[in-house]
Structure 1
Amino acid sequence: MWDLVAGPFLAAAGLLVVAGVPKIVDPLPLVRALRGAGLPVHRQVVRGFAVLEVALGVWALAAPGRYAALLVAAAYLVFTSFVGRVLRRGGILGSCGCFGKPDTPATRTHLVLTALAALTALLVAVDPPASVWAGVDGATVTTAGLAVVIGFLAWQVMAVLPTTSPAAIRTTAAPTRKG
């Protein structure tokens, strides 16, 4: 199973790190997003969870195994639940701050990607690799490269694509005067 899901799993673990760091630096976007979704939290709680998110991502990258994969799956199930809640409530205007962007709202694509990341991690938990980084060979390097590409594309879909919609472009364009 590892051979099939290694790239997506490593990408999901890497995204935990990439998405967690901005929340450590500035937890307020996520605090606002959680409050907007009806979940009041304090800034220090968000920062603490972001530290755990980064630590989990690093652990899953360095030593992907059953327990790391189960925790990655749990994290992505929480994210999926949150995005689903936001979408059911009509969405939020701002970002959760996961990608350091000021205005990347939750989308259905975001929901699908986080659910797929959870599923991938569950598959790894069911059949974890015996040893990933021992005896690094060409296939391992290719898998790591694939993980980087998958992670980058997932980031593009979640953080950049929502800003290219006609509504997003209209809200960021400067008003023009006729006269």
Structure 2
Amino acid sequence: MTGGAWSVLAVPFLAAAALLVLAGAPKVVRPGDLVRALRSTGLPAPAVGVRVFAAVEVLAGVAAVVVPSRVTGAAVAVLYAGFTAFVARALLRGGVLSSCGCFGKADTPPTWTHAALTGAAALVGAGVAVAAPADPWQGVGTGTAAGGLALVALVGFLAWQVMAVLPSVDRRAVRSASTRRV
């Protein structure tokens, strides 16, 4: 991958990889929400299988951050493509009325915006898988790393806001909150 392409994909790729870690870790410990979410869409979901999948998700995210490569890019792409398919399935079949466990205990039902964001992350992973950087950390000094880390954290935070917080800010939620202020 040319330096220019990696410079464009690096922040969204690293943010997507970090979100894999942050979303996978709670499911390793507490698989129940994802088990219920999968079952609500007609998919089999033994708790041990969910824990193993979540552990793979965490490991893939860590590996993608440490060593961005064709393999880790493909792993990110496949995981996010699967998440996109699951969110779309849940939306089309009417399953998952509450959280899948990706963001802890927060009630985060699926949305089409969530599906679009995970789809974009899959495409970013595919971009890295097709043309991985030869040396992704070449020339990255302390200042560049600090600024890059801040940007990755911001993008990851905004993506989390879109997937975990935005679903609770619909007209019904806003109307409900405004009627309580008397």
Match of 2:146 among 141, 147, 155: 141
* 2:25 corresponds to 1:25: no
**Which residues of structure 2 form unaligned runs of 5+?**
none
Q: Which residue in the other structure is 1:105 paired with?
A: 109
**Aligned equivalents of 1:15 and 1:76: distance in 2?**
11
Aligned residue pairs: how many?
Answer: 174
**In structure 1, the residue corresponding to 2:22 is in which secondary structure?**
helix
Q: Which residue in the other structure is 2:135 paired with?
A: 131
**Aligned equivalents of 1:47 and 1:169: distance in 2?**
35
C-alpha distance 170-40 of structure 1, shift in aligned 2 (>3 A): farther
**Aligned equivalents of 2:97 and 2:69: distance in 1?**
37
Relative to the length of structure 1, the TM-score reads 0.90
- Give the counterpart letter for 2:154 in structure 1: V
RMSD: 1.9
**Which residues of structure 1 form unaligned runs of 5+?**
none
C-alpha distance 126-141 of structure 1, shift in aligned 2 (>3 A): farther
- After superposing on structure 2, the runs of 4+ consecutive aligned residues of structure 1 that deviate more than 3 Å are 138-141, 166-171
Check the 8 A contact 1:101/1:159 in 2, yes or no.
no
**In structure 2, the residue corresponding to 1:39 is in which secondary structure?**
coil
Relative to the length of structure 2, the TM-score reads 0.88
Check the 8 A contact 2:24/2:57 in 1, yes or no.
yes
**Aligned equivalents of 1:81 and 1:3: distance in 2?**
28
**Aligned equivalents of 1:168 and 1:101: distance in 2?**
18
Q: Which residue in the other structure is 1:121 paired with?
A: 125
**In structure 2, the residue corresponding to 1:150 is in which secondary structure?**
helix
What are the equivalent positions in structure 2 for 1:72-87 lying under 5 Å apart?
A: 72-87=76-91
- Give the counterpart letter for 2:146 in structure 1: V
